Copies of this chain bind each other. A is one copy, B any other.
């Protein structure tokens, strides 16, 4: 996919987002620099501003993309509640950069319409995944399920978990989620 047409660049917007993901995946969100992204894309230092306005604009686009990807991942998950949870963790691990931005609203404009729409959709899918297996109050169940997968994903990404958890986050997540919903 992606461009081919090369005007001044062709598909700068996508190239910048891809570069941002790449940088953040290996160096964290703090290491992100618009000028660095521009250099990687081979354009001038002010080119990104045209597509995203400012840094927050770029991260807003990235967050929207992230919520859309999350919704897709949850939609493709199996029918069991556990599958939804594992998919959540899998998304966080596979799309680390997106995930880290999505839940840091001080970095972007969380009230952006596109973000709100994608986030809402992902939220619905998440709740649907839990609703299939409601033991107590569905609210409590949903909150507990979301908390446990989000916590596990966050801890995994931050490197805080001890080595004995093993190398496979999704397998470990499955075990932990099963503890909540046996």
A residues lining the B interface (CB < 8 Å): 27-28, 30-31, 103-107, 110, 136, 139-141, 143-144, 146-155, 158-161, 164-165, 172, 175-176, 179-180
Contact = CB atoms under 8 A, between A and B. Distances in A.
A160 to B, nearest CB: 6
B141 A179 contact: yes
Contacts of A146: 151, 155
Q: Which 6 A-B pairs have the closest CB atoms?
A: A151-B151, A28-B106, A147-B151, A150-B151, A147-B152, A144-B179
Contacts of A160: 103, 105
A110 to B, nearest CB: 8
A179 B136 CA distance: 8
